[in-house]
A = this chain, B = another copy of it.
Amino acid sequence: MTPIVLGIDIGGTNTVFGIVDEHGACLADGTIPTRAQEPVEHFLPRLFDATEHLLEPFAATHALKSVGIGAPNANYYTGTVEHPPNLNWQGVTPLAASIRERFGVPTALTNDANAAALGEGLYGAARGMKNFMVITLGTGLGSGIVVNGDVLYGADGFAGELGHVTASGVQGASNLMLTGRQCGCGRRGCLETYVSATGICRTAFELVAELSTETVMASGVRAFTFETLSAAELARLAHSGDALANEAFKRTGTVLGVSMANAVAAFSPEAIIFFGGLANAGDLILRPTQAAFDAHVLTIFKGTTKLMFSALMSSNAAVLGASALAWKEVA
């Protein structure tokens, strides 16, 4: 019987899952709509049906060893999903216990950024590293931080939320208010309001207000509403020479680079690995990030931390991340 694990990633729109072997090969995968408005009691039977159907052809030849799940607001310690902001799951859901009961194998749960970090460590750009960070640049900014070979969970299981470290800061001692953009968390100035697929669109709209009318009229951004603009559209415009779009990448990368220099002072990782929608822009985002990082990192850390892209961006990274968590449970 060949050992396999089941990796599941629950997103706000889709839930993806796959069967992964010990070498990181995805033998089969599938997707169901998450239906965010649906209570978890309706979601679970659909998930069980779909994953059991996927596993069926492997029953005679392969042995399911464990299940790993990436989910929003997931607590590794308790195996629960707690008050997810983008899902209509009430209160605290004991998701790992429900799945463990159904499949009869060890089951673990963590958030998507931590799963991405585990995947990167087992199969990707961080193989062999014991101290590294994965930054996911999607709708928000997530972070999976690995310290001494283990994901940083902290005292309560929720550590590593760098997206909600304030980037705009306390403006000196003279100004006691937190300034900056409003964040979904209820505060202002959080890093993810500047640096994420959403944040760069906010910056593009700020630039429409700030730059000269000529620059704005010459920019393709004027054809977009906030609904239709995306990081991918901005990248397309920037590649075609659009000055406003290029400035949006420059400013976003600068905030990211300074923030990562701060993170290095705290964590001193071997590498910081970028992943997700905004990372797909490649050099457009990495060049200004690296420049700001080099300019602001403390002297003692200069040259020690590499900024790089995920090695899993073209593959089913979310499933691989969840499967890395699963393999860790049976290691």
Contacts and interface: CB of A to CB of B under 8 A. Distances in A.
Interface of A: 73, 82-83, 129-132, 145, 147-148, 150, 152-162, 164-174, 176, 178-181, 185-187, 189, 194, 202-203, 206, 210, 251-252, 254-255, 258-259, 262-263, 265-270, 292, 296, 298-301, 304-305
Q: Which 9 interchain pairs have the tightest Cβ spacing?
A: A169-B169, A154-B268, A159-B268, A161-B265, A155-B270, A173-B251, A131-B155, A165-B262, A173-B203
A245 to B, nearest CB: 14
A152 B267 contact: yes
24 contacts: A82-B300, A129-B155, A131-B154, A131-B155, A148-B150, A154-B268, A154-B269, A158-B301, A160-B268, A161-B265, A165-B265, A165-B266, A166-B258, A166-B296, A167-B170, A168-B170, A168-B171, A170-B258, A171-B179, A172-B180, A173-B203, A173-B252, A187-B298, A266-B266
- With most chain B CB atoms within 10 A of its CB, the pick from A154, A170, A210 is A170
B176 A254 contact: yes
A221 to B, nearest CB: 14
Contacts of A263: 266
Given A160-B266, A255-B173, A266-B161, A185 B298 contact: yes
